[in-house]
Structure 1
Amino acid sequence: MLQLNKVHHIAIICSDYAVSKKFYTEILGLQIIREVYRKERDSYKLDLALGDQYAIELFSFPQPPPRVSRPEATGLRHLAFEVDHLESAIGWLTEKQVDTEPIRTDEHTAKRFTFLADPDDLPIELYEK
């Protein structure tokens, strides 16, 4: 049987590297591990960490195709982050002019959550601990 230990990372392709880099580092607070420009692909690759865990590879490519729909397209549905206090997180995002959806409650876990979108409209969920 195949034994998977954990999710290693999530790869995201963005349409505007500078805007997405700012969003993921300055607004969501992920830490830069390394940033590489790959000349042969005219592409940046930014490795990001959440705490001490490698979490996201942010890629730029010339003219990537847009996402088909939100969030019901085949493929990644959304990216979810756990937060301690949902209202505090929403307050921070509001100060940074990032809109969030109304708070909802998961009918199976009774945990509260909300959604926002990254600069390319990738759905991001904040799920309260």
Structure 2
Amino acid sequence: MLQLQNIHHIAIICSDYARSKAFYTEVLGCTIVAEHYRAARDSWKLDLALNGSYIIELFSFPDPPARVSSPEARGLRHLAFAVQDVAASVAMLEQHGVVCEAVRADEFTGKKFTFFTDPDGLPLELYEI
């Protein structure tokens, strides 16, 4: 059996690098680990951490193709972040102009959760722990 240890990172390709960089750092609170411009690809690569743990690679590429990002589309469904208080987190997001779905309760755990999207429509979730 493969000896997987954990998830190392999540890679995201954005359409507007500056807008997505601001969203993931200023709105979601990720910190920058490294930022590199790759001239040969006309591409930025931004390494982001959450609470000191490396988690996201944010890429830009010229004219990336659109992807279906509805939560029920085939493929990666969404990226979920654990929070202590969903309602307080929603209020903070709304202060930044981020629209969140109504808070719901997980039918199996009873935990509160909601969905919102990043600037490119990637579905993101807040899940109360």
TM range (shorter): over 0.9
| TM-score, with length taken from structure 2 | 0.97
Aligned-pair distance for 1:72?
2.5
**2:7 maps to which residue?**
7
TM-score by length of 1: 0.97
Does structure 1 retain, via aligned residues, the 8 Å contact 2:69–2:122?
no
What residue in structure 2 maps to residue 21 of structure 1?
A: 21
- Equivalent-residue separation in structure 2 for 1:16 and 1:124 (angstroms): 18
Displacement of 1:69 in angstroms is: 4.2
> CA shift at 1:17, angstroms?
0.3
| Residue 113 in structure 1 maps to residue 113 in structure 2 | yes
Amino acid at match of 1:30: C
Three-state SS of the structure 2 residue aligned to 1:44 is strand
> In 2, Cα distance between the equivalents of 1:15 and 1:74?
21
The alpha carbon displacement at 1:110 in A equals 1.0
Give distance in 2, aligned partners of 1:6 and 1:106. Answer: 24
Deviations 1:77-104 (A, max 9, x none): 1000000011110110111111100001
2: distance between equivalents of 1:122 and 1:69? 6
Gaps of 5+ in 2: none
2:103 maps to 1:103: yes
Runs of 4+ displaced beyond 6 Å? none
Q: What is the rounded CA distance, in whole Å, between the counterparts of 2:69 and 2:48 in structure 1? A: 26
Cα separation, 2, equivalents of 1:73 and 1:110: 25
Q: Compute the displacement of 1:67 (Å).
A: 1.3
1:68 positional shift: 2.2
Distance 1:41 1:32 in 2: 21
Aligned to 1:40: 40
Count matched residues.
Answer: 129
Percent sequence identity over aligned pairs: 62
- 2: CA distance between counterparts of 1:87 and 1:74? 29
Match of 2:91 in 1: 91
